[in-house]
Amino acid sequence: MAGPTAKVVPFGEAAFLVVLGERISVPLNRRTHALDAAVRAGLPAADGWGNPVPAYASLVVPFDPERLDPAAARERLAAIVDSAARTPLGPDRGGRLVEIPVRYGGPDGPDLAEVAERLGMAPEAVVRAHAGRTYRVYLLGFVPGFAYLGTLPLRLVLPRRPTPRPAVPPGSVGIAAAQTAVYPVATPGGWHLIGRTDLPLWDPSADPPARLAPGDRVRFVPVELGPR
């Protein structure tokens, strides 16, 4: 089946934004990743193009305006977008399966008890629900190696904390809205922290430095339920 009609619009003076949709969905995200691969193959850096940046249902495509005429560059990109939209997607076999061991609750998950109370669940039930699903890596963003994973079971959906923490320890596992994620580095953050992992998700000396990639699948494995 052909993909959705995409819009190609300027994104500043040195990039275009390709918009495939306005919602979080696996089909749109798969189409975004397929377009990412097509753009990388058809618009090489040697011709003045930068690395595309995929999101849930859009793609930022940088270019060098000193080497490429913006109008001609947009026309060339639009041709690739149109071709990719008419190319049927193959079976969804998913990416790599990455298991992340998590210590839930206690000092490693300081918000678990509050989350459980707000949801009307026991903390153990929150853990079982969170760890009982395989998540998709929709995109990387916010900070290097931060993978947005979805989607959470509906019974775990909560808005972000009203006041973000000034510092979240690396390895912290958080939930917010219908998403979950692991903070790869110490950073401010407003997600509810329910656990922590020792598995490094960002290593600048590694190739690639990010352990997770868009399209990968993630399972959280409880290794210990901290005291409450």
Name the CATH architecture for the domain at 7-85.
Answer: 2-Layer Sandwich (3.30)
CA distance 72 to 79: 11
Residue 60 pLDDT > 50: yes
Do 7-85 and 97-225 agree at the fold level? Answer: no
Residues 6+ positions from 124 with CB-CB distance below 8 Å: 225
Better-predicted residue by pLDDT, 180 or 94: 180
How many Cβ atoms from other residues are within 10 Å of residue 8's Cβ?
18
Residue 79 pLDDT > 90: yes
Percent of the chain having pLDDT more than 90? Answer: 84
Per-residue confidence (pLDDT) for residue 228, from 0 to 100:
41
In tens, the pLDDT along 167-223 reads 999 999 999 999 999 999 999 999 999 999 999 999 999 999 999 999 999 999 999
Per-residue confidence (pLDDT) for residue 93, from 0 to 100:
67
Domain locations along the chain: 7-85, 97-225
Per-residue confidence (pLDDT) for residue 2, from 0 to 100:
53
- The order of strands in the sheet holding 7-10 is 7-10, 15-19, 58-62, 53-54
In the CATH hierarchy, which fold is given to the domain comprising 97-225? Cyclophilin (2.40.100)
